[in-house]
Structure formats: structure tokens, C-alpha cells
């Protein structure tokens, strides 16, 4: 706070409040927070008796405001908040003596370094005075020696990073700002030997790199106790270049943090002048020679047109024109009135430290911040056209959730990435896997090609926590190199289908609980589902089926259902030996279109007739096939076929099964006669005899 008070005239306290200032430090912190500089903490800082209370404000600066990574930058905001005068820090008087230029500077790549300012100072290295070291400590910067401390002090105060070289260690008075030669090496101040690449910028003497530009200095030219003369550097480096270099070297410093966000190309002269002044003030050194400024192509300042009308247009509230220009001026902009009137326009020159301001909206944000978001009204935007319904995916997903929760399945959400091994164990070829180049760990190395690995892990998670009966499903994307990202549904089931109850024992779930749920799901969409025996990786042979979905006119193989391979399940950590059944299907063919075309059929007006048949039949014959034969033979009055019993054992020859089916007949236009039903039943029996040598029992 005391540092801030040095740079801006803000009377804090009751007196200040009377003059439109903050009532206390917390009040000031709130004001900064409400302008976009979140004050995370206010720590009291010890002061001498009689001095006003002091504190350290811990501010969070968004990445677009590198100019506020400094006390002066914050002072400027405070000045705008309280209409208070800024007090720029004292600097060394400019001595323009072109004759006395002890060093020469060449920039070989002005795109990467548009400006480099250097100056010498003769110094006596030692510890910094207490007040200076204390301010660095308050900012979490470790004091090193008076020279380095001054460069850091200037960086914290003005926001511009500096560097000091031990001039004697340089190979002559020549500074070359150039790209590194491939394989060139430098030992940086942290003692690490680093290999440089040609896209990295260096500060070199006549012989070799002495610093990685904008990132860190070299250890060989480090300022130490024996240093007698320093070369002070203040430069502007290209943000992208600094960012790439520090990423490549994995080396982020206070300097690179500022350069990569954008330093102020106008600041170097002030920074050098401030540093030489401070060195003199603390008795650590005195300037030698002139400041050398290598600035081949100074950019033109940015000028942005600001229309008062546009401010209101964007904010929804008219802001007093008499507020706009003074606020911008206090923030360092130079607004020039272009057209006067109730709704004027300005040509606003943007200061070079405001690297975030390029267009009118950026200026409007400045006005809005200082006007106060809290003062904007709340209005509701009129609808200018009817709302559009969501795509079919939404009704589909909601219907799936409704049907499956109704069947007792709870919804899971699992991670989009899984272990490679778990992915390969389920359904997919290695070449179809989509790998991440920077996974957090091996547990999330590949995008899930199937929802099953994640869902099975969730089932196991529950199973390992005393839970016996588990029904889960997940709706989500799966990712395959060939098919891309597609919507999928997975279902998993273990434990009791019917829990133990005082009326009867538990019934353990089996495959038919899951195929039943899938049948219910299909019916919920007005679709039909059929299961065909098949084999699939991760599923137990003989207890695996391909799922055929008929939705509208299309029949598609949408996925698989079966018992999960117990060895795989136990490898994934499943305790115990109870069966786990799983299914996964492609959701794309599942649509509610059938209901869009729905026309209700008349409710039957005539009674139905039921006939039960008991057949002795080959036990390898799929029920679906028998059912198909029955449908084909019975004629149009058959309305349903249901398998009601299946029995093997005494009285039934080996290789055969006693199968009871219940046939229901009905006609829409008449009550069926016994004779009609008998004829249809006889047709069914004879067809089954012919096709499968089935015997009526």
C-alpha cells in the first residue's frame, strides 16, 4: 500500500472517504475487485509508529492485462477509480550525449526483438537497503544483491522486466540480439546447462549467448560480489517467441511471464532511467555514459474510434459522455473529441502498454468497468422468432433414460478415456483406438471405443462396496478411428433380478433379464428387437447374442448382449463369482420416428381364443425359428405366440425339449369359431412336424 501511495495520490481512510476516496484498505480492495482485479487477500504489513496502516494486496491479474503486473499499473487503475493524480516515480534526468556511447547494439531479427535498450553503470555490489529488500519480499521476490534487486524493483514497480550483465565478463562492448545457432549451449542462472534451437532468441556478445532473451540470463555473466560495471538491459521481446522458448525449455520466469503476455514497447527507456536513478539513490552505483536505444522501427500508436452511441448499444444503458473521456484519460488513453453533441465520438489513441486494446469494444469494456457492471439495468431480450425444438437426440436420450430407469437401471457417467488394455479387452482392434498424446496417466491413455470398460469398472466399484445387486446404464459418445465419435448405450447387470422377500426366495438375474430390458427398450421406441446367437470378444460363448433392431423399415445389427467373461471381470477386480451381463448398442438407428407416424388401431371388439400346444422338439433349435414357423403356418388370425414352459428331464428324450407355447387367435371382424381355430392350430402342428419332426405331447 505504501508503494502504491507513492505512485498515486489516494487518501485512504475517513478523510479520503470525504473526498470520494476509499474508507479503508478493504474498501479499496473491493473497488479494485469490482473493476476486474480480484483482491484475493489483504495482509497487514508492519509499519513504524505514526505511519498509516500498511498492507500487502494479493491481486489476481487476468492474462490480458500485463500492464497491471506492476504497482504503477494498479496505481493507474486506482487513479481512475478515485479521480486521483498519478505520481510517476523519480528517474535519472535524461542526458542525451550521443558522443558517449560505450556499447553498440545490433538486432538481427527485429520481428523477435523490436527494441533493445542498454546502459552501463559502475557499481559496488552489496546488500540492498532494508526498505528496498522489504518491498521485494512483500512481492515474494527474494533479495539477492543491490544490483539485481534494483532490476527486480523496477520490474515490480513499472512492470518492465530488466536484466543486468556483469560487463567485464562480456567479450567486448558489443551486444548482438540474434537467434541461437542450432546446438549452441548456455548455462542459465539456475545453473542448468541448456541447448538452444534456432527459433530461440539470445542476447549474445561477440562470441556467445549470454542470456535467453526474455526468459533468463546466463550464469557466466551473472552479477556477483566482484562485479564493478553492469550492463543494464531493458528490451521488448516478441510474446509468441518468448512463450515458445519458455515452453520448450520448461522455464517460466517473472520476466517471461510478462513478456509472453505483452510488455510495453515504450517502457525500456523509463525502466533504465529508473534503475540508474535507484542505483544512485541507494549508493550502489552511478551511470556511465549514455543510454543506447536500438529501436529500428517504432510502431505507430493504435487509434480507435469510439462512438458514445455504441457504448449504450452494447451495454443497454446510456453512460454520461462527461464520464467517458476523463476516465479513459486517467487510464492512459488519449481521447480526442471527433464529433461533439449529445452522442459524441472520439478518436482514442491507445497507450503502448495497453496491448489488449485494439478495437472499440475493448474501449467500451474500459468504460463499463469503471462505470460499474452493478449499475447496468437488467432487461430481458425479446423473442423475435419461435424457439426451435431440440434435435431428435434429446427425445431419444430422455426416452432411453425413462425406460431404463423404469427397468431398475441407474444412470452412470464415466470418463471419456480409459486404459488401453481395458479398451482392447472389449470389442475393438488396436488400430481402431484413438490415443491421447498427453494423457494424465495410463488409466486414461485412449478415448473409449466402447462404454463397457468404464461401466464395468463402475459396476465393480459398487460390487467392492458391499453392493450385490447392481443395474447400471450409460448413454454417451464412443470414439473409434474408423467410425469417429458415435452415440452409444451400455447396460450392465449383476445380482438379484428379484430380491429375497418374505414371500419367496431371491431369483438371480440371468441373460433373459437383460434381453427382456432391451426388448422393453425397443418397445418403448415402437421398435422390435431380436437376438441371434453369436460370439464376441469379452463375452461368454453360448451366452452371447447379436442385437438386431428393427426400427421403421430398417433392420440393423446394433450391438451385442451377453455374459461378461468371468476371467476378464475378475482381472478388472470383480469379487465373488456371480454372473455379470452386459450389452452395448449403437444408438443411431434408435429413433422415435415410428411414433411420429402412429395411427391408433381399433380396440378389438371380438374375443380372442387361446390354445396351448406342448411339443417335444430338438433342444438345439432356436425358439425364434420355431416361433417363425408358427407365425408362417397359422394364418392371419394368430395374434400372439408365447413360450410358457420349457422342460427337460424325465419323460423327455435326451436331445429334446418339451416346449409349451400359448397361441392366441383373434379376428377383427368376427368371433372365431372353434373350427377355424382348430384348423389354424392343426396347420401349426403339421408345419412343426414337417419342419422339425416335432411331436405333440
Partner 1 sequence: MTAPTAIDTIRVAFQADLGAVVTAQDLQSVRDRYLGRKQGAVAALMKSMAGAAPADRPALGKAANVLKREIDAALTQRGDTLDDTARPVGSVDVTLPGRALPFGRRHPLTLIREQVESIFETMGFEILQGPQVEDDYHNFEALNMPPDHPARDMQDTFYLEQPMPGGGEGATPPATLLRTHTSGMQIRYMESHEPPVRIISPGLVYRRDTPDLTHSPMFMQVEGLLVGEGITMADLKGTLVSFLQAFFDAGTRVMFRPSFFPYTEPSAEVFISCVFCEGTGCAVCKQTGWLEILGCGMVHPAVFEAVGYDPERYTGWAFGLGIDRVALLKYRVEDIRLFYDNDLRLLEQFPH
- What part of residues 41-70 is at the interface with partner 1 (CB under 8 A)? 62-65
Closer to partner 1 by CB, 160 or 666: give it. 160
Task: Tell me 8's DSSP state.
Answer: B
- In the structure grid, which three cell numbers stand for residue 417, read together? 478415456
Q: Does 465 bind partner 1 (CB under 8 A)?
A: yes
Q: Does 387 bind partner 1 (CB under 8 A)?
A: yes
Q: Does 226 bind partner 1 (CB under 8 A)?
A: no
C-alpha 255, offset from chain centre:
27
Nearest distance from C-beta of residue 261 to partner 1, angstroms:
6
- What element of type H or E holds 489? strand 484-494
Q: Within 131-150, which residues bind partner 1 (CB under 8 A)?
A: none
Q: Within 424-463, which residues bind partner 1 (CB under 8 A)?
A: 434-440, 444, 447, 458, 461-462
Q: In angstroms, rounded to a whole number, what is the distance separating the alpha carbons of residues 583 and 390?
A: 28
Closer to partner 1 by CB, 398 or 535: give it. 398
- From 93, 386, 602, 636, residue interacting with partner 1 (rule: CB under 8 A): 386
Closer to partner 1 by CB, 143 or 476: give it. 476
Nearest distance from C-beta of residue 547 to partner 1, angstroms:
20
Between 390 and 429, how does the x/- string for binding to partner 1 read (CB under 8 A)?
xx-xx---x--x--xxxxxxxxxxxxxx------------
Q: In angstroms, rounded to a whole number, what is the distance separating the alpha carbons of residues 260 and 263?
A: 8
| Paired residues of 174 in beta bridges | 104
Candidates 209-217, 360-368, 569-577, 654-662; binding stretch for partner 1 (CB under 8 A): 360-368
Q: Does 316 bind partner 1 (CB under 8 A)?
A: yes
Cα 23 to Cα 11, 16, 76, 355, 368: the distances in Å are 9, 6, 19, 32, 23
18 CB-near residues (< 8 Å, 6+ apart): none
Contact 417, 437 (CB under 8 A): no
Contact 217, 188 (CB under 8 A): yes
Closer to partner 1 by CB, 286 or 467: give it. 467
Q: Within 491-510, which residues bind partner 1 (CB under 8 A)?
A: 498-499, 501-503
- From 485, 523, 612, 682, residue interacting with partner 1 (rule: CB under 8 A): 485
Nearest distance from C-beta of residue 212 to partner 1, angstroms:
17
- In the structure grid, which three cell numbers stand for residue 632, read together? 408362417
Q: Within 79-98, which residues bind partner 1 (CB under 8 A)?
A: none
Q: Does 377 bind partner 1 (CB under 8 A)?
A: yes
- In the structure grid, which three cell numbers stand for residue 438, read together? 498427453
What are residue 133's phi and psi, to 5 degrees?
-60, -40
Contact 501, 476 (CB under 8 A): no
Closer to partner 1 by CB, 168 or 413: give it. 413
Q: Within 275-314, which residues bind partner 1 (CB under 8 A)?
A: 313-314
For partner 1 (CB under 8 A), the number of binding residues is: 93
Closest CA to 204 of 175, 181, 233: 175
- From 48, 50, 225, 384, residue interacting with partner 1 (rule: CB under 8 A): 384
3-state secondary structure of 19: coil
- From 87, 244, 248, 611, residue interacting with partner 1 (rule: CB under 8 A): 244
Cα 154 to Cα 72, 170, 287: the distances in Å are 10, 24, 16
Q: In angstroms, rounded to a whole number, what is the distance separating the alpha carbons of residues 170 and 154?
A: 24
Nearest distance from C-beta of residue 360 to partner 1, angstroms:
8
C-alpha 434, offset from chain centre:
19
Q: Does 481 bind partner 1 (CB under 8 A)?
A: yes
Closer to partner 1 by CB, 2 or 462: give it. 462
Contact 549, 396 (CB under 8 A): no
Q: Does 250 bind partner 1 (CB under 8 A)?
A: no
Amino acid at each position: 500500500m505504501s508503494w502504491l501511495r507513492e505512485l498515486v495520490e489516494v487518501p485512504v481512510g475517513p478523510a479520503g472517504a470525504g473526498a470520494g476516496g476509499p474508507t479503508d484498505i478493504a474498501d479499496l480492495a473491493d473497488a479494485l475487485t469490482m473493476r476486474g482485479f480480484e483482491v484475493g487477500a489483504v495482509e497487514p504489513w508492519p509499519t513504524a509508529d505514526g505511519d498509516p496502516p500498511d498492507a500487502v494486496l494479493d491481486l489476481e491479474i487476468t492474462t490480458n492485462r500485463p500492464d497491471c503486473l506492476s504497482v504503477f499499473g494498479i496505481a493507474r487503475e486506482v487513479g481512475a477509480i478515485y479521480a486521483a493524480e498519478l505520481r510517476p516515480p523519480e528517474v535519472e534526468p535524461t542526458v542525451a550525449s550521443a558522443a558517449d556511447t560505450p556499447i553498440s547494439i545490433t538486432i538481427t531479427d527485429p520481428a523477435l526483438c523490436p527494441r533493445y535498450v542498454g546502459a552501463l553503470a559502475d557499481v559496488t555490489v552489496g546488500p540492498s537497503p532494508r526498505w528496498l529488500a522489504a518491498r521485494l519480499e512483500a512481492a515474494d521476490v527474494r533479495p539477492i544483491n543491490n544490483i539485481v534487486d534494483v532490476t527486480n524493483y523496477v520490474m515490480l514497480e513499472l512492470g518492465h522486466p530488466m536484466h543486468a550483465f556483469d560487463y567485464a565478463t562480456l567479450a567486448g562492448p558489443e551486444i548482438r540480439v540474434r537467434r541461437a545457432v542450432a546446438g549452441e549451449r548456455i548455462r542459465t542462472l539456475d545453473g542448468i546447462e541448456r541447448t538452444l534451437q534456432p527459433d530461440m532468441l539470445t542476447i549474445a556478445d561477440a562470441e556467445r549467448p549470454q542470456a535467453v532473451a526474455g526468459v533468463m540470463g546466463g550464469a557466466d555473466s551473472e552479477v556477483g560480489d566482484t562485479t564493478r560495471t553492469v550492463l543494464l538491459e531493458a528490451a521488448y521481446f516478441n510474446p509468441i517467441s518468448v512463450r515458445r522458448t519458455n515452453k520448450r525449455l520448461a522455464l517460466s520466469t517473472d520476466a517471461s511471464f510478462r513478456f509472453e503476455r505483452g510488455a510495453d514497447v515504450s517502457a525500456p527507456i523509463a525502466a533504465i532511467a529508473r534503475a540508474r536513478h535507484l542505483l544512485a539513490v541507494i549508493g550502489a552505483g552511478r551511470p556511465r555514459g549514455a543510454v543506447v536505444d536500438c529501436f529500428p522501427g517504432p510502431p505507430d500508436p493504435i487509434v480507435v474510434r469510439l462512438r458514445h452511441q455504441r457504448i449504450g448499444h452494447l451495454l443497454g444503458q446510456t453512460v454520461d459522455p462527461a464520464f467517458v473521456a476523463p476516465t479513459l484519460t486517467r487510464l492512459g488513453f488519449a481521447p480526442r473529441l471527433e464529433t461533439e453533441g449529445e452522442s459524441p465520438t472520439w478518436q482514442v489513441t491507445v497507450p503502448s502498454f495497453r496491448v489488449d486494446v485494439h478495437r472499440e469494444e475493448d474501449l467500451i469494456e474500459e468504460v463499463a468497468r469503471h462505470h460499474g457492471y452493478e449499475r447496468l439495468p437488467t432487461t430481458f431480450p425479446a423473442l423475435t422468432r419461435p424457439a426451435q425444438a431440440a434435435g431428435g437426440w434429446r427425445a431419444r436420450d430422455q426416452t432411453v433414460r425413462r425406460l431404463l430407469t423404469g427397468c431398475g437401471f441407474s444412470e452412470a457417467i464415466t470418463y471419456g478415456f480409459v486404459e488401453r488394455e481395458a479398451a482392447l479387452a472389449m470389442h475393438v482392434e488396436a488400430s481402431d483406438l484413438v490415443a491421447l498424446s498427453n494423457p494424465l496417466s495410463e488409466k486414461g491413455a485412449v478415448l473409449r471405443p466402447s462404454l463397457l470398460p468404464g461401466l464395468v469398472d463402475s459396476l465393480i466399484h459398487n460390487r467392492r462396496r458391499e453392493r450385490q445387486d447392481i443395474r447400471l446404464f450409460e448413454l454417451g459418445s464412443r470414439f473409434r478411428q474408423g467410425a469417429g465419435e458415435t452415440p452409444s448405450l451400455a447396460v450392465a447387470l449383476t445380482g438379484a433380478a428379484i430380491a429375497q422377500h418374505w414371500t419367496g426366495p431371491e431369483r438371480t438375474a440371468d441373460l433373459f433379464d437383460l434381453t427382456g430390458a432391451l426388448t422393453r427398450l425397443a418397445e418403448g421406441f415402437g421398435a422390435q428387437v431380436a437376438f441371434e446367437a453369436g460370439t464376441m470378444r469379452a463375452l461368454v460363448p453360448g451366452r452371447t447374442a447379436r442385437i438386431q433392431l428393427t426400427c421403421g423399415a430398417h433392420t440393423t445389427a446394433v450391438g451385442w448382449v451377453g455374459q461378461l467373461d468371468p476371467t476378464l471381470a475378475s482381472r478388472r477386480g470383480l469379487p465373488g463369482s456371480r454372473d455379470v451381463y452386459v450389452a452395448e448398442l449403437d444408438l443411431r438407428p434408435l429413433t422415435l420416428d415410428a411414433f411420429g407416424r402412429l395411427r391408433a388401431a381399433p380396440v378389438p371388439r371380438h374375443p380372442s381364443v387361446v390354445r396351448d400346444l406342448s411339443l417335444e422338439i430338438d433342444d438345439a433349435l432356436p425358439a425364434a425359428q420355431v416361433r417363425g414357423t408358427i407365425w408362417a403356418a397359422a394364418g392371419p388370425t394368430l395374434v400372439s405366440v408365447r413360450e410358457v414352459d420349457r422342460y427337460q428331464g424325465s419323460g423327455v428324450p435326451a436331445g429334446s425339449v418339451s416346449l409349451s407355447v400359448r397361441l392366441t387367435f383373434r379376428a377383427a371382424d368376427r368371433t372365431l369359431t372353434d373350427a377355424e381355430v382348430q384348423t389354424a392350430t392343426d396347420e401349426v402342428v403339421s408345419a412343426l412336424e414337417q419342419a422339425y419332426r416335432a411331436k405333440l405331447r
